[in-house]
Structure 1
Amino acid sequence: MKTLLHTLAFSLLLLLTAGSSVAASTPAIQVEVVGKKDGRPLLLVPGYVAPGALWKETAATLGRRHQCHVVTLAGTGGTAPLTLAPTDSYYSTYARALADYVKANKLRKPVLVAHQTGGMVAMRAATDFPELFGGLVLLEALPAPFAVSNPRLTPDSLKLPARDQLLAMMVNLPRESFLKQQKMFINTWVTDTAQQRRVLSWADQADRSTWAHIVYESMTTDLRPALPRLQVPVLLLGIWVAGKAVQPDLSAAKVKPLFERQLAQAGAGAEVRLHDAAREFMMLDTPEWTISNIEQYLAAHPARR
């Protein structure tokens, strides 16, 4: 997470936006349903600017016992981006779309399984609409990622440039430079070279304005005050070893308390589990460990009748 925060902060000053207008009716999410027809419903929400394809292998395995609703957020995977007012929140818009989907499809207490920035979307959904969801599993996602090392840090403390000014700084980076930069980052987020190419292709497909706004919002959002509204326990699957590139003396013993402190206000409690070798895209690097922990959570917290 710490490595991701550094790269996100750096990306804010470099990433290209290519805003394109679409009709206001653009759906905020698209969902593919796979797996057991009458299985327990899981909502799989991707992070970074990955589409639902990020969960392809995970959903294939979880789908043997569960019903997987694989989410693609607007603006990723080649889908049309949202057109929002400057004061609107991407996270809130996506979260409301998840809630609307649950209600429209009469899903009974689905479990949110979400990655990175998608985890912030899931936390927003689970705190804004706590009555709708039956569980929350976060993969390398925190309620206030900017405040991992300093819990007293607030969004205002970041002293980021004005939103419009900052986004305007991101418009002129050529595609070739953008992809070169993203490749550098992605090579630290995923260990397998084939998977690195896969993630890079998702970066290339994504709407750049969507990515820029999501990154900005991740840096200026603090969901910790909303955590007491959670009615379900939280499982956070995290990583730490990548952070040694920035902080050589880093250890799991140092990182775990930082993550636990972030989730200390969770209304139904939270548990943090770290992997010693995985990187940010743990479902690609360590799929067995990731799926095993999700299954353990589901077994420990069965569906409510």
Structure 2
Amino acid sequence: MCRCRAPLLVSMIAVVLLAGCATTSGASAASAPQPFHVERSGKGRPLVFIPGLASSGEVWNETVAHLQGKYDCHVLTLAGFAGQPAIPAPFFATERRALADYLRSQGLEKPILVGHSLGGVLALAVAADVPELVGGVFIVDSLPFLPASMDPSATADSVRPRAEEMRTLMRMQTVEQRSMQSRMALRNFISDEKKVDVAARWGADSDAETVTQAFYELSTTDLRPELPRITAPTVVLGSWVALKGRVPREAVEAVYQSQYAKLPTHRVVLSDTARHFIMWDDPEGFFRELDGFLGAHASVAQVEPHH
């Protein structure tokens, strides 16, 4: 498999986590912080939307509006991101367990999980943990093990020293340094400058230690061995626009196909126009793929509308 020198996902993770994050924890000693905040709207088949690193659930606003209330939409903002109170480490294990518990406690019937970036990895983890509860997975520019897109021989153990080093360096950065690097990176991930401003604000409102720890855990979590447990139909939307002229499209697609090879239900679709925030950069193409997926898989269960 061809090694991409600077895959969009890897560079995205390495710099968005350097966002101009808040330097103090958002958690209050007087109240127990929750793993995520949920905004719920609409009626019908349940959809659970999970944003990426340092992003607000507002990243799905246009998507929810497009669905016009025809689905029971649960839009998450993860702890420590975009102004939400932080939770103690570990981050990823806590989030995946809490999301599975949420599906059970809400009695959601075969929900479709829609996740972007880190949110996509979390969606995969939950679909592997509780396959009987998940009716579909719609992944937006995520890979089950990011380091392997740079080095196919990478393992969680082999990348841990470098991840620890990166975590230390991130903790040493000033707010100004993170903010500057974040804005430079976001311009590579988002075409619309106004949307760059929005994402930068979410980063500035995120808890720096949460973002740092989430990056470390994401870098050392390899979900590929868990993929065979996923039984739900899965679509993976990928992006390669930022790599045009440097990496052939075929090489980028090969990375996605290789990473998802153990997931028998998957289908990879590469966008030729959108950057990392596909739902922002190419809403028409994104809605077309999402609508097609929901049309094929979201009418299986009859769901009582919530009150």
Flag whether TM exceeds 0.5 (same fold). Answer: yes
CA distance in 2, matches of 1:162, 1:241: 27
Q: Which of 277, 286, 304 is the equivalent residue of 2:282?
A: 286
Q: 1:256 aligns with which of 230, 253, 256?
A: 253
Would you say how many aligned residue pairs link Structure 1 and Structure 2? 294
Which runs of 5 or more structure 2 residues have no equivalent in the other structure?
1-5, 302-307
Matched, 1:27 2:24: no
Q: CA-to-partner distance for each residue in 1:177-203, whole Å, 9 max, x for gaps? A: 211110000010000011110111111
The runs of 4+ residues in structure 1 deviating greater than 4 Å are 10-17, 21-24
Q: Does 1:237 align with 2:237?
A: yes
**Code of the aligned partner of 1:259:** Y
Map Cα deviations across residues 215-234 of structure 1 (whole Å, 9 max, x no partner).
11221111000000001121
The structural deviation recorded for 1:60 is 1.1
SS in 1 for 2:170: coil
The answer (yes or no) to whether the contact 1:109–1:303 under 8 Å persists in 2 is: no
Percent identical across equivalent pairs? 35
Query: CA–CA distance in 2 between the matches of 1:249 and 1:170?
Result: 28
Task: Give the letter for the 1:70 counterpart.
Answer: V
Match of 1:74 among 68, 76, 79: 79
Match of 1:227?
227
Q: Which whole-Å CA distance do the structure 1 matches of 2:21 and 2:73 have between them?
A: 33
How far is 1:16 from its partner? 6.6
TM-score, L = length of structure 2 = 0.88
* Equivalent in the alignment of 1:108: 109
Could you tell which deviates more after superposition, 222-231 or 150-159? Answer: 150-159
Q: Kindly provide the amino acid, as one letter, of the partner of residue 115 in structure 1.
A: H
Shift of 1:159: 5.1
Q: 1:10 to 1:104 in 2, by over 3 A?
A: closer
| TM-score of the superposed pair, with normalisation by structure 1 | 0.89
**Structure 2 match to 1:169:** 169
Q: Could you tell me which amino acid in structure 2 is paired with residue 126 of structure 1?
A: A
Distance change in 2, residues 1:230/1:59 (3 Å): same
The alignment yields a C-alpha RMSD, in angstroms, of 2.2
Displacement of 1:19 in angstroms is 5.4
Cα drift, residue 104 of structure 1 = 1.4
Separation (CA, whole Å) in 2 of partners of 1:78 and 1:203: 9
Asked if the contact 1:44–1:114 (Cα under 8 Å) also holds between the matched residues in 2, the reply is yes
CA separation of 1:149 and 1:167: change in aligned 2, threshold 3 A? closer
- Label 1:304 to 1:250 Cα distance change in 2 as closer, same or farther (>3 A): same
The equivalences for 1:22-61 within 5 A come to: 22-23=28-29, 25-35=32-42, 37=43, 39-61=44-66
Q: Show the 5 A alignment for 1:169-248.
A: 169-244=169-244, 248=245
Do the aligned partners of 1:62 and 1:68 also contact (CA within 8 Å) in 2?
no
Distance 1:29 1:63, change over 3 A: farther
